[in-house]
Amino acid sequence: MDPRQFTDLNPPERILLGPGPSMIPARVTAAMSMPVIGHLDPVFLQVMDDVQVLLRYVFQTENRFTFPVSGTGSSGMETALANFIEPGDRVLVGVIGYFGERLFNIAGRYTDNVDRIDAEWGQVLDVDDIRAQLKKHKYKLLAIVHGETSAGTQQPNIKEIAAAAHEEGALLVLDAVASLGGVPVEVDAWDVDVCFSGAQKAISASPGLAPITISPRAEKVLAARKEKVHNWYLDLTEVQAYWGKERTYHHTAPIHLNYGLREALRVVAEEGLEARFACHADNARMLWEGLEELDIALLVDEPQRLNTLTTALVPPAGDANKVRSALMDDYNIEIAGGFGPLAGKIWRIGLMGHSAQRKHVALLLAALREVLAR
Ligand SMILES: *Cc1c(COP(=O)(O)O)cnc(C)c1O
């Protein structure tokens, strides 16, 4: 082994305008370079308490069970489904894009009875259709995606969907990975039972933590399980014993990721949720208007567009990948392409958290204008 073959690590500072990770404020990066301490050190226990208080603020909830799962956003998906599904339970999954597909895939690993309700990528689900489907069977839970990053859609009417689920005795599980911290996610006001997110999107912390919150109704369902959760690492009751008062060792919390999440949430709290949502809305509007001026159409109709992620249709003469490479090579800007049914047809432009700044939108629009003119 010749260690000289490995150069010093020197990642470029990119302008990250893709579907995540988003850019991280310098003070969050600084927080992640502080000394490591033990995961039961009183100083770290205070960090954990702070993170929980701050997470309740962004989720707009008073739920006792509110903490970050150790793992990326997908670990939040897995936690939400593993804990609330028992073998034989019937569950319903709303699929309006790739992440709905993933929820459907994960749910099928915990029970054989998974039904789905679909909308075309770029569309959202209709509350009456959901209600009608919920009446057909006895569902344990309904899982849907709030901000569908693959299509750029925001599912509206979450409060009505939650009410429909509760009328039929089902829990509502909401994927807010791409929305939390960028657009309103009102867990208590909407009466959502299980809501999870990811640290690296509109919260602008490092990837690796998945904030989750569980309603008192969901806590009861958890307590009434007949079988142990079929996933030791993500067993919410055991993890809560570490994050709650007991402080029982379960696994070593990722110390630095929690430092970073705490700092990123402190940034959100200082800015204030309302101001943050307004900032995301303003930046999205500036992007949409700028794209329209460049004759680039948007996939999603305005009322259901996701402020944190815009899907733009590649013009007939354009080559989606060439444009993306040129933006990266010549302007240091990352945007993403489409996948699944939208592969090659769209660009996905994220304006999440610290990435959502007017100067970034202005630069991207100018760069796109120049690249497309070539
Ligand atoms: C990014 C994302 C996920 C998955 O998160 P990872 O951090 O990549 O595991 C899940 N759902 C949605 C809506 C996402 O945007």
Mean pLDDT (whole number) for 15-42: 97
Give tens-digit pLDDT for 122-131.
Answer: 999 999 999 9
Amino acid 194: pLDDT = 98
Q: At residue 372, what is the residue type?
A: L
pLDDT in tens, 86-110: 999 999 999 999 999 999 999 999 9
Residue 72 Cβ inside 6 Å of ligand 1? The answer reads: yes
C-alpha separations of 276 from 190, 205, 267, 283 in Å: 20, 15, 10, 11
What pLDDT shows up at residue 317?
Answer: 84
The mean per-residue pLDDT over the stretch 230-235 comes to 97
pLDDT tier for residue 336 given thresholds of 50, 70 and 90: very high
Percent helix, strand, coil in the chain, to 5, is 45, 15, 40
Q: Is the pLDDT of residue 287 over 90?
A: yes
What is the mean predicted confidence (pLDDT) over 213-233? Answer: 97
Decide which of 236 and 318 is more confident. Answer: 236
Identify the band that residue 37 occupies on the pLDDT scale cut at 50, 70 and 90.
Answer: very high
Report the atom number in ligand 1 closest to the C-alpha of 75: 9
Average pLDDT estimate for 350-373: 97
Q: Is the pLDDT assigned to residue 186 strictly greater than 90?
A: yes
> 62 and 186 in contact (C-beta within 8 Å)?
no
How much is the pTM? 0.98
Query: Which atom of ligand 1 has the smallest separation from the CA of 146?
Result: 13
Q: What number does the ligand 1 atom closest to the CA of 200 have?
A: 7
Number of Cβ within 10 Å of residue 60's Cβ equals 18
For the Cβ of 69 lying below 6 angstroms from any atom of ligand 1, the answer is no
Contact 73 CB / ligand 1 (< 6 Å): yes
- pLDDT tops 90 at residue 211: yes
**318 pLDDT tier (thresholds 50, 70, 90):** confident
**Is the C-beta atom of 177 inside 6 A of ligand 1?**
yes
Distance 7 CA to ligand 1 centre (A): 31
Ligand 1 pocket mutation, candidates 22, 70, 177, criterion most atoms within 8 A of CB: 177
Q: In the chain, what is the straight-line distance between the N-terminal and C-terminal CA atoms, in Å?
A: 46
Q: Residue 276's closest CA among 205, 204, 183?
A: 183
Cα of 197 vs centre of ligand 1, distance in Å, is 8
With vertex at residue 156, the alpha carbon angle to CA 153 and CA 158, rounded to the nearest 5 degrees, is 125
Find out whether 124 and 94 touch, Cβ atoms under 8 Å: no
pLDDT at 374: 87
> Band of the pLDDT at 26, cuts 50, 70, 90?
very high
User: What whole-number percentage of the chain has pLDDT above 70?
Assistant: 100
Nearest CA to ligand 1 atom 5: 73
How far is ligand 1, taken at its centre, from the CA of residue 330, in Å? 28
Q: Taking residues 141-147, what's their average pLDDT?
A: 98
Q: How far, in Å, CA of 41 to CA of 39, rounded? A: 6
